[in-house]
């Protein structure tokens, strides 16, 4: 049986991840679940409820919620890391400051992701160091954002650590693609995909008989985005998810031979995205007003009642890939998964030291990336530009370089000029004093 720690225990995703773990005990048996956070107050809002959920399912699993890294990281086999340095109030600033200058305001794409990256790097490295000190054989399954910049930082500064960087975004897209193709699960598909995190393209989606589904899915996406059926399209609530899906109809026209990540809208249709944004109310506000309130109030109810009957907390189905990854490592399943790994020739015409998101075979000793070959000039150009942004952020962080961070912002495809990049940067420096190194 395995012992796990959830780093970022105070995240509103923690209860649904616990429920997901509890739902998978037959294939991934656990003896210990620990929550670790440096914000005790926030973690405590969830911890009691998590403890009750665990006891109801399997009283033999021991539970610990702690702010002490030694307790958190001692005797653990897997760390599921989803920390958010600065929490949602800083996310709100990441989103709103660029919008002041009519630039995309998003937590991982564009300037917001750069600011968030500058905050996250130290936190993730610190957690790796604790893990290596107290449980040197532990694997860290890291989905802390902004994953691309975080992954580059781990490559640069902890190249031999047992960390695997992974994102749930492809899972969401593949679930939708499976529905579009009439399959019951994304696991009925073998995909080929390449890019950077939140910045990629599917080039093949085959069913288990080897039949290529991409043309069929592509036709659907051109009409309905990722909304899985015409019926759902016609009856959908016109919310932000729906809008994002519709954008995909435009993105796919830029290369109809692929299925693009929906986040490419931030780089390819940035003007349109900005026009559809509300600087008074961004995604951070939505998350604080909905998910955060709901999860905290449900956890309070469970803690007060002493049981979880009637709770609206749900299993995080998206988070199931984390269990798949842990199982692949623990039981050598050789499952094929999209991971963020060092290129090293996988994309033949891209530099070796890029952290790319590509299919890998995962087994006991870690992962083996699949070979992608050469990629077309359009994607290569976009990727190289974004890659340079990510690398410059990590260098700026390490060297405390104002110059390099300004270059990073200037180079981001979301930012129209060096002048605007500088204004955004100066505003960011002001509000990130407690989190960024001094530039
Ligand atoms: C997707 C992405 C994550 C991102 C999340 C934002 O799942 O893969 O990287 O954090 O969306 O979700 P939220 O609900 O917080 O806006
Ligand atoms: Mn992600």
Distance (Å, rounded) from C-alpha 322 to C-alpha 52? 22
pLDDT of 98:
98
| Average pLDDT of the segment spanning 13-30 | 97
Non-local CB neighbours of 68 within 8 Å, separated by 6+ positions = none
Of all protein residues, whose CA lies closest to atom 5 belonging to ligand 1? 169
If you average pLDDT over residues 100-117, what whole number do you get? 98
Candidates 36, 226, 263, 266; catalytic one? 263
Residue 163 has pLDDT above 80, yes or no: yes
CA 365, CA 106: separation in Å to the nearest integer? 35
Cis peptide preceding 198, ω within 30 of 0: no
- Return the ligand number nearest the Cα of 87: 1
Atom of ligand 1 at shortest range from CA of 146: 9
Q: Where does the pLDDT of residue 228 fall: very low under 50, low under 70, confident under 90, or very high at 90 and above?
A: confident
Q: Looking at the predicted structure, is the pLDDT value of residue 183 above 90?
A: yes
The SS3 assignment for 439 reads: coil
Q: Which range, of 43-57, 64-78, 239-253, averages the lowest pLDDT?
A: 239-253
Which atom of ligand 1 is least distant from the CA of 291? 14
Closest-approaching ligand to the CA atom of 171: 1
pTM of the model: 0.97
Mean pLDDT of 299-309: 98
226 counts as catalytic: no
Q: At 55, is the pLDDT very low, low, confident or very high (cuts 50, 70, 90)?
A: very high
Alpha-carbon distances of 291 from 67, 116, 146, 256, 279, rounded to whole Å: 23, 20, 20, 35, 20
Query: In angstroms, what is the span from residue 258 Cα to ligand 2's centroid?
Result: 20
Dist. CA 146 → ligand 1 center (Å): 10
Name the pLDDT band for 243 (thresholds 50, 70, 90).
Answer: confident
CA distance 370 to 70: 37
Q: Whose CA is nearest to atom 14 of ligand 1?
A: 287
| Ligand 1 in reach of 283 Cβ (< 6 A) | yes
Percent of the chain with pLDDT over 70: 100
288 close to ligand 1 (CB < 6 Angstrom): no
The pLDDT value given to residue 416: 97
Identified catalytic residue from 37, 77, 168, 427? 168
Instruction: Ligand 1, residue 168: give the atom nearest the CA.
Output: 8
Protein residue with least CA distance to atom 15, ligand 1: 287
Q: What is the structure's pLDDT at 238?
A: 78
Candidate from 167, 193, 339, 340 with most ligand 1 atoms within 8 A of CB, to mutate? 167
pLDDT for 230 equals 86
- 252-277 confidence digits (pLDDT tens): 999 999 999 999 999 999 999 999 99
145 lines ligand 1 (CB under 6 A): yes
Lowest-confidence segment of 107-116, 135-144, 248-257 by average pLDDT = 248-257
Told to judge if 255 belongs to the known catalytic residues of this protein, a careful annotator would answer: no
2-16, 39-53, 247-261, 342-356: lowest mean pLDDT where?
Answer: 247-261
Q: Which of the 8 DSSP states describes residue 126?
A: H
Taking CA atoms only, the protein residue closest to ligand 1 atom 16 is 283
- Inter-residue contact 72 to 36 (CB < 8 Å): yes
Find the mean pLDDT for residues 71-84: 98
Give per-residue pLDDT as tens, 195-227: 999 999 999 999 999 999 999 999 999 999 988
Check whether 239 has a pLDDT greater than 80: no
Report which ligand 1 atom has the smallest distance to the Cα of 318.
7
Contact (Cβ atoms closer than 8 angstroms) between residue 350 and residue 380:
yes
The pLDDT of residue 233 is above 90: no
Reply yes or no on whether the pLDDT at 169 is more than 90. yes
For a mutational test of ligand 1's pocket, the pick from 95, 108, 322, i.e. the residue with the most ligand atoms closer than 8 A to its C-beta, is 108
Tell me, what's the pLDDT at 431? Answer: 98
Cα(145) to centroid of ligand 2, in Å? Answer: 7
167 within ligand 1 shell (Cβ under 6 A)? yes
Q: Helix, strand, or coil here: 151?
A: helix
Residue 169 Cβ contacting ligand 1 at under 6 Å: yes
pLDDT in tens, 275-292: 999 999 999 999 999 999
The per-residue pLDDT of the chain, averaged, comes to 96
Taking CA atoms only, the protein residue closest to ligand 1 atom 6 is 107
Q: Closest Cα to atom 8, ligand 1: which residue?
A: 169
Is the separation of the CB atoms in 227 and 237 below 8 Å?
no
Contacts of 201 (CB under 8 A, 6+ apart): 193, 194, 195, 255, 258, 259, 260, 261, 379
Structure tokens at 436: 């960024």
CA of 254 to the centre of ligand 2 (A): 23
Indicate if ligand 1 lies below 6 Å from the C-beta of 287.
Answer: yes
At residue 232, the pLDDT reads 86
Residue 370 per-residue DSSP state:
P
Confidence of residue 315 (pLDDT cuts 50, 70, 90): very high
Cα separation, 427 vs 260, in Å, equals 32
User: Helices 111-134 and 402-411 meet at what angle, rounded to 10?
Assistant: 120
Q: How many A from CA of 322 to the centre of ligand 2? A: 13
């Amino acid at each position: 049986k395995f012992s796990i720690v959830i780093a970022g225990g105070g995240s509103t995703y923690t209860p649904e991840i616990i429920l997901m773990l509890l739902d998978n005990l037959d294939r991934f048996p656990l003896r210990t679940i620990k929550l670790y956070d440096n914000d005790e107050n926030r973690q405590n809002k969830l911890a009691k409820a998590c403890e009750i959920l665990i006891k109801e399912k399997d009283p033999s699993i021991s539970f610990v919620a702690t702010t002490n890294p030694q307790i958190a990281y001692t005797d653990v086999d897997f760390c599921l890391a989803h920390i958010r340095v600065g929490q949602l109030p800083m996310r709100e600033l990441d989103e709103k400051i660029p919008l002041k200058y009519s630039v995309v305001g998003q937590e991982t794409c564009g300037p917001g992701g750069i600011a968030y990256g500058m905050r996250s790097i130290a936190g993730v490295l610190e957690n790796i160091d604790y893990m290596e000190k107290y449980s040197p054989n532990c694997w860290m399954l890291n989905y802390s954002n902004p994953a691309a910049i975080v992954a580059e930082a781990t490559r640069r500064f902890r190249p031999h650590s047992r960390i695997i960087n992974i994102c749930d975004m492809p899972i969401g897209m593949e679930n939708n693609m499976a529905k579009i193709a009439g399959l019951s699960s994304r696991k009925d598909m073998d995909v080929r995909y390449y890019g950077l995190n939140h910045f990629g393209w599917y080039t093949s989606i085959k069913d288990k008989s080897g039949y290529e589904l991409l043309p069929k899915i592509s036709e659907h996406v051109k009409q309905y985005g990722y909304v899985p059926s015409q019926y759902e399209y016609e009856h959908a609530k016109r919310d932000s998810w729906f809008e994002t899906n519709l954008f995909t109809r435009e993105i796919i026209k830029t290369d109809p031979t692929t299925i693009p990540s929906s986040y490419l809208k931030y780089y390819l249709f940035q003007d349109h995205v900005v026009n559809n944004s509300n600087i008074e109310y961004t995604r951070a506000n939505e998350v604080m007003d909905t998910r955060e309130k709901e999860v905290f109030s449900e956890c309070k109810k469970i803690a007060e009642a002493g049981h979880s009957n009637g709770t609206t907390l749900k299993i995080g189905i998206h988070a199931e890939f984390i269990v798949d990854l842990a199982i692949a490592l623990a039981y050598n399943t050789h499952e094929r998964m999209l991971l963020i790994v060092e290129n090293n020739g996988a994309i033949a015409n891209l530099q070796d030291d890029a952290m790319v998101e590509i299919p890998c075979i995962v087994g006991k000793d870690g992962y083996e990336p699949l070979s992608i070959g050469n990629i077309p000039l359009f994607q290569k150009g976009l990727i190289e530009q974004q890659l340079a942004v990510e690398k410059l952020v990590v260098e700026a962080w390490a060297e405390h370089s104002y110059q390099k961070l300004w270059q990073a912002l200037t180079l981001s495809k979301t930012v129209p000029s060096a002048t605007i990049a500088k204004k955004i940067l100066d505003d960011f420096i002001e509000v990130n004093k407690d989190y960024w190194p001094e530039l």
